[in-house]
Amino acid sequence: MNINWLVVLALTAYAAEEKLKNGVLNWQLAKDQVKFTLHVDPSIFRDYDWYGVAFKENLTQYSMADGDYSVVWFNHTNPEKSKVHHMNTIGHHELLHNTKMYFGTQSASSENNGLVATWTRNLNESTNQTVTLVENKQYLLLWAYGKLQGNSMQHHMHSDRYYGVVTLSQNHTGDAENSAFHLVISWVTFYLLL
């Protein structure tokens, strides 16, 4: 990480923080909403096209299934036009774009050659395409980054996806850098031994 980018993060006050590989996810809880802020490291903004985070209610299922995703698609030439997309795998095995946006305010801006994206979600509200976000509840946080080809997300590498358990609270701090790559190796080894 670039030192200027770290200084900006240190000087910015957020209620909750989860450190990600090459990024940070912050959130602030209000009466009926949660505001998320994703700081994307300059190296990821430069070399990739999207960065996504997902909340899952099942804390032990590390697959993409039943995830509620917020995916930032980068606009490299005009970072302020980068968009946050709501996607899900709830009841499906593939990532689906929602036809209805479930976000409130969203914005993006450049920060020391990286990107900062914000979006809001309602608390205590769910649909058949969202996870109910509840204050002080634990969730499995999945995150990954990858490339776009045209308007299609390309599959991320196994080494570019991670997970961690978070508590959606004002004072949460954590480090969700558990690599999902070891899960793939464990699965292959298990089946080879059978």
Segment 70-119, tens digit of pLDDT:
889 899 899 999 888 888 777 665 666 654 556 666 888 888 889 999 99
- pTM for the whole structure: 0.80
CA dist., res. 50 & res. 163, Å (int): 17
pLDDT at 194: 44
CA dist., res. 83 & res. 75, Å (int): 8
Main-chain dihedrals φ then ψ at residue 147, nearest 5 degrees:
-110, 160
Strand-pair category, 178-179 with 161-167:
antiparallel
Kindly report the number of other CB atoms within 10 A of residue 42's CB atom: 18
CA dist., res. 96 & res. 9, Å (int): 32
pLDDT in tens, the chain (194 residues): 454 444 444 434 457 999 988 899 999 998 899 999 999 999 999 999 999 999 999 888 877 788 888 889 899 899 999 888 888 777 665 666 654 556 666 888 888 889 999 999 999 987 777 889 999 999 999 988 999 888 777 777 666 678 889 999 998 887 666 555 444 433 343 334 44
Q: What angle do CA 13, 171, 128 make, to 5 degrees?
A: 105
CA dist., res. 116 & res. 25, Å (int): 10
| CATH number, domain 14-193 | 2.60.40
CA dist., res. 55 & res. 35, Å (int): 14
* DSSP, res 74: P
Start-to-end C-alpha separation, the chain: 43
* DSSP, res 88: E
Domain boundaries in the chain? 14-193
pLDDT at 31: 86
